[in-house]
Copies of this chain bind each other. A is one copy, B any other.
Amino acid sequence: MQLQTLPYLQSSHNSEIGEELYQLISKLYPICRSITGNGFRETLNIINQHIPLQIHEVPTGTQVFDWNIPKEWNIKDACIKNSQGERIVDFANSNLHAINYSIPVRKKVSLAELKEHLFTIPEYPDWIPYRTSYYQEMWGFCLSHNQYLELRDEEYEVYIDSSLEPGCLTYGEYFIQGKTADEVLISCHACHPSLCNDNLSGISIAVFLAEYLTCFQPHYSYRFIFIPGTIGSIAWLAINEENVSRIKHGLVLTCLGDSGSFTYKKSRRGNTEIDNVVTYVLSSSAEENKVIDFFPYGYDERQYCSPGFNLPVGCLMRSPHNSFPEYHTSADNLDFVQPQYLAESFFKCISIVNILENNRVYYNQNPKCEPQLGKRGLYEADIDSQDRKLNRMAILWILNLSDGNHTLLEITQKSGIVFDEIKQAADVLLKYNLLASSPKDGL
């Protein structure tokens, strides 16, 4: 797999792919998603226009490890009317106004009673917070603190036209069969309503990454899952428990559209190949970046990295959850994410996949002393079949370290040569049978 030969990417400049990523986010933004319900299904339908998803419906009450699939939630409308009957807080303006998973309600309330059901952010008085109450039945509204302060002491009517009934939890899955059964898992939570960075950005990048990988038969099989956060990954792990050992590498993608620098949260194991690959990709760029150790809070890596699974799954972000004030507010909107940042994030994912795909362990077929490069025309700097100059030190490093104990990335890191030159040199050595996938003798 060579990045530059991909038809998909050949047709896309950096700005074009950025725009495409942004357009998908724009299309998904208005939908009121939750961990269950039609908003989630509608989201999967839009994704399905890009990649053919397998849709799974898990019935309410199904036990998934220590949890049970909750009732399905749907909502049509919600508002607070003042005594003049004006819809002063209106779900039609922002689906964040209704507490996600609010039970239905229609009644008249005093200001005092109303206030017990209102949530604001005093520090950012223009923003509407995003609140949920999945496992504790209640109703409530979120609104800007400024609006809250203007509420007069009168009678209000609260109206939430929602339903909380037995139904299903829905998730989507897209599988690309690679040359091997070893899998790379790409996981996105898709349960947040009108919030762009968290996590329409991750969804959009995953969709285009899936499209990109569909153009080849990659070495690994790739499994993309679009799931509700926490309960979704728990359900997915419970349903797929038998098969998780196939997952050799994984990434949770989220918060990839803002202007912050990249952050990679390592897997619980901390030293897996995906950890090394992402760390290398981030450190290969001049931009600032942070690689942080696993901690048991954040996104669905919490479940993948629970001790009974302990999968090699990390989490790629720009600004991490809770580190930016717009997090879980109405300010995480279509202004907060930008095409250029989405495009950068997408290409980081491509770079990661590119290294994962090519990061093999090879065996020097002449392990005793150096082979004679000169008689093969490899001693003096040569050019490969694509007219690129060969790096002779890359050849020597690969020959010296291809003892079955070093991946190409490890050779890259020991030698200080960039991965692409190492990969290119390895390809030439493979062509000349100086390198192979299994040992010959003497090793």
- The chain A residues found within 8 Å of chain B, CB to CB, are 64-67, 135-136, 230, 233-234, 237-238, 241, 268, 295-297, 302-303, 305-310, 364, 366-372, 374-375, 379, 393, 396-397, 399-403, 415, 442-443
Given known A-B contacts A374-B136, A375-B135, A400 and B369 have beta carbons under 8 A apart = no
B308 touches A369 (CB 8 A): yes
**A369–B66 touching, CB < 8 Å:** yes
A303-B370 in contact (CB<8A): yes
Q: Which B residues are CB-close (under 8 A) to A135? A: 372, 374-375, 379
Measured between beta carbons, the chain B residues less than 8 angstroms from A297 are 393, 396
In contact, A296 and B234 (Cβ under 8 angstroms): no
Is B370 within 8 A of A307, CB to CB? no
Q: Which residue of B lies closest to A237 (CB)?
A: B369
- Residue on B with the closest CB to A65? B369
A369, B309: Cβ atoms under 8 Å?
yes
Contact, CB under 8 Å: A302 / B370 = yes
Smallest Cβ-Cβ distance to A305: which chain B residue? B400
Residues from chain B with Cβ under 8 Å of A442 in the complex = 308
Residues of chain B within 8 A of A67, CB atoms compared: 369, 372
Q: Which residues of chain B are near A303, meaning CB under 8 Å?
A: 369-370
Contact indicator B307/A268 (Cβ below 8 Å): no
Please give the distance in Å from A367's CB to the nearest CB on chain B: 3
Min distance, Cβ A372 to any Cβ of chain B, angstroms: 5
Are A400 and B367 closer than 8 Å at their CB atoms?
no
Q: Tell me if A307 and B375 are in contact (CB < 8 A).
A: no
Most chain B CB within 10 A, of A230, A238, A297, A308, is at A308
